[in-house]
Structure 1
Amino acid sequence: MRSVTRRQAAHHDKRSAATEAQLLSAVERLLNNGESFTEISVQRILEEAGVSRATFYAHFQGKSDILARLAENLRTGLLALARQWDPGAGEDGAERYARFFEEVITIHRANRIVLSAVREVASYDPAVRNFYTADLEEFDEAVLRTLVAEQEAGTTPSDLDAVAASRIIVWGGSQAIARHISVDDGSGDAAFARELGQIWWYGAYRRPASATHPGGPAEPEPRPKERTT
C-alpha cells in the first residue's frame, strides 16, 4: 500500500512540475512575442497555456509569482558562478573577472526579456521589487564577504570601505550591464567584460593602499584658497 501511495505522490509531483513548466513557458512566449508583462492578463496566460484558472492559482499566487519564478533559476546560476572563484587562488583576478562577466553578459542576453520585465514590474510591484533587491543584496553580501576575507589576509588594503565598495560594484555593475545590453549588439561584450573586470579587481580587491594613511582612509585634499581682489 505504501508503494502505491508513493507512486501516486510521485505521479502527482511530476504532473504538477509539468503544469508549472507549461505556465512558465506560456509567459515566456508572450514576452518573446513582444507583449508587455504589465499588459498580459491572467486570462491571456490561461489561454496561451491551455489551463484553467483553478489550475493556475493552484501553482502560482499571481502574475508576479510567475515572473519571480522565471528569474529564480537565473539568480541561482549567477550566484553559483560568483561562488566558484576564490580570489586567493593565485589567478590574475582581473582576467578571471573578465571571463566571469562575459558569462554573466551571455546569460543576461539570453534572458534579457525576462530581466527587463522584472525591472519594469519592480518599479510598482512590492513583491517583485523585494525579489529583485534580494537578488542583488545576496550578491552584494557574497562580494562583501570576499572583500573582508581578502582584507584579513592582507591582500586588499585595510583603508578600503568594504561595505561601500561591494555596494558600488554590485549595484552599479548591474545597472551598467543592463545598459550595455540595451545599446550594444554583442560585438562589444568582451571589451565591456574586460573593463568591468579591471574596475572590480584594481578598484577594490587590489586597489593600492593610501601612501599617507596605509591603515585608514586618506584625508581629503585641502581646498585651494579663494583668490581675493
Structure 2
Amino acid sequence: MARPTVRRARATRAERRDQIAQRLLTAAERFVADGTSFTEISVEQLITEAEIARSTFYMYFEDKGALLLELTDRVTVIMGQAALAWLELPPKSSRAELKDALGRVVEAYFAHRHMLAAVAEAAAYDPRVREQYGEVMARRIEFISEHFLEKQRQGAVRPDVDVPSVTPWITWMIERCLYQWLGHDTRSQSEYTDPDFTDGLTSIIWHTFYEGVA
C-alpha cells in the first residue's frame, strides 16, 4: 500500500524541481535581456528575482554552471518543438508552407534569444557547457537527419541529397546565423518581424532538400 505514496512523493519532488528551474529560467532571461551577461549574474540575484530560498537553489543545483546546463536543456526542447512544424511538413508542401514552418523556428529563437546566446557564449569558456552544448547539437543533427531520411524514403525530399552529410552543415548554419543576427537583438517581442531573414533561410532549405521533388 505504500508504493503509490512513494511514487507520488517522487513525482512531487520532480514537479517541484521543474517549477524551480522554470522560475530560474525566467529570471535569468530577464537579466540577460537587460544586457547582463550570464557570468555577471550572481546566485543571489537569481534567487531574489525567482523568489526562492538559497537552500532551495542548492537543493537542486550544485552551482550556477549546473543551472546553465539545465537551462540549456530547456531551451533546446523549446527549439526542438518549434522545429517539428518544419520537419513534419507533409509531402508536396509548398514553399510558402515551408517558410511558415521555418518562421516558427525563428520566432522561438527570438523569444529565447538572450538565453540561447548566453549558452553559446558560455560554451566558449566553460568546459562543462561546451561538452553539453556539443551533445545537444549532436542530438539535434541526428534528430533532423532521421526526419529527412524518412521524408526521403517517402519521396518528399530530393533523392540526390546525401542527408547524413548535409544535415550537420544545415544545422550549424541555422544555429550560427540565428545567434549572429538575433542573439543580441534589442527589439521587444511585439516589435519582432524578420521577413527577409526567413525568406533567405527558406530559399536555402528549399533548394537543398525540396526543389524538383515531384
Q: Give the TM-score category using the shorter length.
A: 0.7 to 0.9
**1:167 Cα deviation (Å)?**
1.3
CA distance in 2, matches of 1:25, 1:44: 12
2:148 counterpart residue number: 147
Query: 1:88-167 to 2 correspondence within 5 Å?
Result: 88-92=90-94, 94-153=95-154, 156-167=157-168
Inter-CA distance 80–187: structure 2 relative to 1 (3 Å threshold)? closer
| Equivalences for residues 204-223 of structure 1 within 5 A | 204-206=209-211
Looking at structure 1, the residues matched to 90 and 4 of structure 2 have their Cα atoms a distance apart, in angstroms, of 52
Q: Which runs of 5+ in 1 are unaligned?
A: 209-229
Deviations 1:147-203 (A, max 9, x none): 333444555455433222111111112111222225796676122212211211212
Residue 15 and residue 200 in structure 1: after superposition, are their counterparts in 2 closer, same or farther (change >3 A)? closer
**Distance of aligned partners of 1:145 and 1:88 in 2 relative to their CA distance in 1, 3 Å threshold:** same
What RMSD, in angstroms, separates the aligned Cα atoms of the two structures? 3.3
Q: Give TM-score scaled by structure 2 length.
A: 0.76
User: Which residue, 191, 215, 224 being the options, matches 2:196?
Assistant: 191
Amino acid paired to 2:166: A
Question: Is residue 140–residue 170 contact of structure 1 (8 Å, CA) maintained in 2?
Answer: yes
Q: When the two structures are aligned, how many residues end up with a matched partner?
A: 207
Give the drift of 1:116.
Answer: 1.3
Give the number of the structure whose alpha-carbon radius of gyration is greater.
Answer: 1
1:184 and 1:98 map into 2 onto residues whose CA distance is 24
Change (3 A) 1:140 1:96: farther
Alpha-carbon spacing, 1:49–1:198, altered in 2? closer, same or farther (3 Å): closer
Greater CA drift, 109-118 or 59-68? 59-68
Deviation at 1:145, TM superposition (A): 2.1
Flag the structure with higher helix content: 2
Deviations 1:105-155 (A, max 9, x none): 111111111111111101111222233223322222233223333444555
CA contact (8 A) 1:122 1:132 kept: yes
Which residue identity does 2:71 align to in structure 1? L
| 1:201 maps to 2:202 | no
1:179 matched to 2:180? The reply is yes
In structure 2, relative to structure 1, the CA distance for the partners of 1:96 and 1:128 (3 Å cut) is farther
Letter in 2 for 1:100: A
- What is the rounded CA distance, in whole Å, between the counterparts of 1:200 and 1:150 in structure 2? 14
Q: Is the 8 A contact 2:123 2:130 kept in 1?
A: yes
Moved more, 4-13 or 82-91: 4-13
Unaligned runs of 5+ in 2: none
Q: Does structure 2 retain, via aligned residues, the 8 Å contact 1:201–1:207? A: no
| CA deviations over 1:13-58 (Å, ceiling 9, x no partner) | 5655444444334333332333211122334434444544432221
Please give the alpha-carbon distance, in whole angstroms, between the structure 2 residues aligned to 1:143 and 1:19: 30
2:207 aligned partner, one-letter code: Y
Shift of 1:89: 2.4
Kindly provide the amino acid, as one letter, of the partner of residue 101 in structure 2.
F
- SS of residue paired to 2:36: coil
Equivalent residue, structure 2, for 1:227: none
SS in 1 for 2:178: helix
Alignment TM-score, normalising by the size of structure 1: 0.72
Contact 2:83 2:104 in 1 (8 A): no
